[in-house]
């Protein structure tokens, strides 16, 4: 894969595809992690004397016409602050953009264009005409074979940006060539959304901790009465299949040893910690208890590598954030001591780690949601594959 180290981009028009699909509330960016991650590549391209066009999608607008709700304007404002120079947002850019070397401009949401999501060849050709060099830095959108990701990489001299490089290096170090023992923590609500991920991970890791609502499906499959807990009873066979695959591969699955149950799903709900054979018929498991936390932390102590995706309990509502916070902080501590390579990503995970004040201590926190999951599923990401070609 070619990187910015392989090319002199002075006086070249460089188009950088980033993932600036960030949360926005009332016109303000509420988490700028993805904008921060885009800075090194943008800065390097500007400093190298390139004319820099930054491209991204935002949300899922109806294609064909701009919609104010999905404008990148708040992102342009934040990018201006972070770069310390004005970043103009270009509305109508498809027919050409005036830009000088050393300058940077942000192109309005590429998903406003018809053909972007269908990876339309004619659209990709028109975008390609805007620049000399394509830099793909949107790892978080690399699972999409869109015109601005896969399409451009195929038709222009294409290079991986710094975030793309960092994401792939971190993931490969954690799962392709990990220091062992390697463990994974997988949580979240549903088994159904993570079947491929679990099936791939049991072949790769030594220990797999299953938490969150999806652990209930595994407990039920083993005959535990989980009361009114979130549980996909129809996936009992799938859970048993994953457990059998784990056993065959020599992967130890760590399931909850006790449960924190409540009668309602709400912050501060009355709750009790019970053994697995004592879950009340009208109770819901909202977190794992101290015995489970001790077990997870013991596994973290034994591990050299940790891959984390998904919370262990309903971390959004206190006090059911306890296990997630305790384990995340323990992993952060081991990482600070230099004993653990910890990589996290995907959906709620980053929010959960930040809630625990643990994210910044992890070795690497991915900017990606769906792309991180697909990578863990062992799938080829089209936006990465096109760079390798």
Which residues contact ligand 3PG (rule: CB under 6 A)?
A: 19, 21, 60, 140-141, 144, 369-370
Residue whose CB is less far from ligand 3PG, 289 or 311: 311
- Kindly give the residue spans of alpha helices, DSSP state H, lying in 261-363: 290-302, 322-336, 349-355
Name the minimum Å distance from CB 141 to Mg ion.
9
Name the minimum Å distance from CB 371 to Mg ion.
8
Give, as one character, the DSSP assignment of residue 183. Answer: E
Residue whose CB is less far from ligand 3PG, 19 or 32: 19
Which tokens hold the place of 11? 């006086």
204 a catalytic residue: no
Show Cβ contacts of residue 154 under 8 Å, excluding neighbours closer than 6 positions: 124, 386, 389
| 347 touches Mg ion by CB under 5 A | no
Three-state DSSP state, 28: strand
Q: Are strands 284-288 and 258-262 parallel, antiparallel or unpaired?
A: antiparallel
Residue whose CB is less far from ligand 3PG, 60 or 203: 60
Do 47 and 104 form a contact (C-beta atoms < 8 A)? no
370 a catalytic residue: yes
How many residues at the interface with Mg ion, by CB under 5 A? 2
Three-state DSSP state, 55: strand
347 a catalytic residue: yes
Instruction: Choose the contact partner of 141 out of Mg ion, ligand 3PG, none; CB within 5 to 8 A by kind.
Output: ligand 3PG
Name the minimum Å distance from CB 389 to ligand 3PG.
22
Residue whose CB is less far from ligand 3PG, 256 or 382: 382
Q: Closest residue to ligand 3PG, Cβ-based?
A: 21
The continuous run of DSSP H or E covering 15 comes out as: strand 13-17
Instruction: Choose the contact partner of 19 out of ligand 3PG, Mg ion, none; CB within 5 to 8 A by kind.
Output: ligand 3PG
- 17, 34, 111, 204: which is the annotated catalytic residue? 34
Show Cβ contacts of residue 379 under 8 Å, excluding neighbours closer than 6 positions: 143, 196
Three-state DSSP state, 158: strand
Residue whose CB is less far from ligand 3PG, 188 or 369: 369
Instruction: Choose the contact partner of 60 out of Mg ion, ligand 3PG, none; CB within 5 to 8 A by kind.
Output: ligand 3PG
CA distance 292 to 300: 12
Residue whose CB is less far from ligand 3PG, 59 or 102: 59
> Sign (positive/negative) of CA torsion 14, 20, 26, 32?
negative
Name the minimum Å distance from CB 53 to ligand 3PG.
19
- 49, 59, 347, 378: which is the annotated catalytic residue? 347
- 43, 155, 190, 379: which is the annotated catalytic residue? 190
Burial class (CB in 10 A: 0-12, 13-18, 19+), 250: exposed
34 a catalytic residue: yes
| Cis amide bond preceding 319, omega within 30 | yes
Please give the residues from 355 up to 384 whose contact with Mg ion meets the rule CB under 5 A. 369-370
Start-to-end Cα distance in the chain: 8
Instruction: Choose the contact partner of 319 out of Mg ion, ligand 3PG, none; CB within 5 to 8 A by kind.
Output: none
Q: Are strands 13-17 and 133-136 parallel, antiparallel or unpaired?
A: parallel
Name the minimum Å distance from CB 142 to Mg ion.
12
Q: Of 231, 233, 333, whose CA–CA distance to 286 is shortest?
A: 231
Residue whose CB is less far from ligand 3PG, 137 or 258: 137
Instruction: Choose the contact partner of 178 out of Mg ion, ligand 3PG, none; CB within 5 to 8 A by kind.
Output: none
Name the minimum Å distance from CB 343 to ligand 3PG.
17
CA distance 185 to 337: 20
- Contacting residues toward Mg ion, per CB under 5 A: 369-370
For the annotated catalytic residues, the residue numbers are 34, 190, 347, 370
């Amino acid at each position: 894969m070619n990187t910015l180290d392989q090319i002199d981009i002075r006086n070249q028009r460089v188009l950088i595809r980033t993932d600036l699909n960030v949360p926005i509330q009332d016109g303000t960016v509420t988490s700028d992690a993805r904008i921060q991650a885009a800075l090194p590549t943008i800065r390097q391209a500007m400093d190298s004397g390139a004319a820099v066009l930054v491209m991204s999608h935002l949300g899922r607008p109806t294609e064909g016409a701009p919609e104010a709700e999905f404008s990148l304007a708040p992102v342009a404002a934040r990018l201006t602050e972070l770069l310390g120079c004005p970043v103009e947002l270009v509305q109508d850019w498809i027919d050409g953009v005036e830009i000088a070397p050393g300058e940077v401009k942000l192109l309005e949401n590429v998903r406003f264009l018809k053909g972007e999501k269908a990876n339309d060849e004619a659209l990709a050709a028109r975008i390609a005409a805007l620049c000399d060099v394509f830099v793909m830095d949107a790892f978080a959108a690399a699972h999409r074979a869109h015109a601005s990701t896969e399409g451009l990489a195929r038709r222009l001299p294409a290079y991986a940006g710094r975030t793309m490089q960092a994401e792939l290096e971190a993931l490969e170090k954690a799962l392709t060539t990990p220091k062992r023992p390697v463990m994974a923590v997988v949580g979240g609500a549903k088994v159904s959304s993570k079947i491929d991920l679990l099936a791939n991970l049991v072949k790769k890791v030594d220990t797999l901790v299953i938490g969150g609502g999806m652990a209930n499906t595994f407990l039920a499959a083993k005959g535990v009465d989980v009361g009114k807990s979130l549980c996909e009873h129809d996936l009992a066979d799938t859970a048993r299949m994953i457990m059998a695959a784990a056993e065959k591969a020599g992967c130890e699955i760590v399931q909850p040893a006790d449960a924190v149950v409540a009668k309602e799903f709400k912050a501060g709900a009355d709750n009790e910690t019970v053994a697995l054979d004592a879950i009340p018929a009208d109770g819901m498991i909202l977190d794992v208890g101290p015995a489970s936390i001790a077990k997870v932390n013991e596994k973290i102590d034994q591990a050299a590598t940790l891959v984390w995706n998904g919370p262990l309990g309903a971390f959004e509502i206190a006090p059911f954030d306890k296990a997630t916070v305790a384990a995340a902080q323990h992993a952060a501590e081991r990482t600070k001591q230099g004993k653990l390579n910890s990589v996290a990503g995907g959906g709620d995970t980053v929010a959960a780690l930040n809630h625990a004040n643990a994210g910044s201590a992890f070795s690497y926190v991915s900017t990606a949601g769906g792309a991180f999951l697909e990578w863990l599923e062992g799938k080829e990401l089209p936006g990465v594959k096109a760079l390798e070609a």
